[in-house]
């Protein structure tokens, strides 16, 4: 059994190092060169000191046969990158309801409320462009449709923005989703 701080050698590779972390069936080691590598426990052999094999653990018949068996049936590690669906991708949600933006909305005129909401939306669009955030959902509510119409006008001034109604199941009718087209010329 390996533990943190043990000095180990990798079977079938010219690599050795110190165990720095053990999570489940993965052992993370730091090699002599300073690289952090992850292996399965059956790919490692605990050694007593640098350059000296621990004969007590390596010479027992069971550990030798286990090492030989692991050598015959090596576990293949997968290096393929997992595909992420669009559902997993980060979507910035901006709630433009006036009560979420300010505490003093009761004293504000309707024009001032609309201006604050549009300034917030414009600022979030600029933030998303600068930080390469691919999608934003603006939650504007149903109401009379004034804010939605102003948002559509705002988005139409950006050539790289495509606006559409957001997911109805998640947001209902009161949300607009935008995404940024790539390579606009």
26-35, 58-67, 89-98, 127-136: least confidently modelled range: 58-67
**Is the pLDDT score of 95 beyond 50?**
yes
Distance CA 32, CA 45 (A): 16
**What distance in Å separates the CA atoms of residue 72 and residue 112, rounded to the nearest whole number?**
74
| Model confidence at 113: pLDDT above 90 | yes
- pLDDT for 88 equals 54
Angle at 63 between CA 59 and CA 65, to 5 degrees: 100
How much is the pTM? 0.52
Rg (CA), the chain: 29
Band (136; pLDDT cuts 50, 70, 90): very high
The two three-digit tokens of residue 46, written as one number: 């605990």
Q: What pLDDT does residue 63 have?
A: 61
The CA distance from 65 to 72, in Å, is 10
Residue 23 to residue 38: CA distance in whole angstroms: 10
List, for residues 48-59, the tens digit of each pLDDT value.
Answer: 754 444 444 545
Helix (H) or strand (E) holding 26: strand 26-31
Mean pLDDT, range 79-84, rounded to an integer: 62
Q: Please compute the mean of the pLDDT values over residues 71-78 and round it to a whole number.
A: 60
The C-alpha atoms of residue 175 and residue 66 are separated, in whole angstroms, by 60
Please state, as a whole number, how many other Cβ atoms lie within 10 Å of the Cβ of residue 153: 10
Nearest 5°: the CA angle 164, 167, 138 is 60
Level-2 CATH architecture, domain 86-180: 2-Layer Sandwich (3.30)
């Amino acid at each position: 059994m390996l533990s943190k701080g043990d000095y180990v050698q990798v079977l079938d590779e010219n690599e050795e190092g110190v165990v720095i972390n053990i999570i489940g069936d993965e052992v993370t080691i730091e090699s002599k060169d300073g690289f952090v590598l992850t292996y399965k426990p059956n790919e490692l052999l605990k050694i007593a000191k640098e350059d000296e094999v621990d004969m007590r653990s390596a010479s027992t018949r069971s550990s030798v046969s286990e090492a030989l068996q692991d050598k015959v049936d090596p576990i293949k590690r997968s290096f393929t990158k997992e595909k992420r669906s669009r559902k997993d991708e980060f979507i910035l949600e901006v709630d433009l309801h006036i009560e979420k933006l300010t505490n003093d909305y009761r004293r504000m005129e309707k024009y001032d409320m609309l201006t604050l909401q549009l300034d917030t939306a414009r600022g979030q669009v600029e933030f998303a462009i600068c930080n390469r955030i691919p999608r934003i959902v603006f939650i504007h509510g149903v109401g009379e449709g004034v804010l939605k119409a102003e948002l559509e006008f705002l988005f139409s001034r950006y050539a790289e923005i495509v606006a559409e109604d957001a997911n109805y199941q998640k947001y209902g009718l009161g949300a607009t989703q935008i995404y940024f087209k790539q390579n606009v010329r």
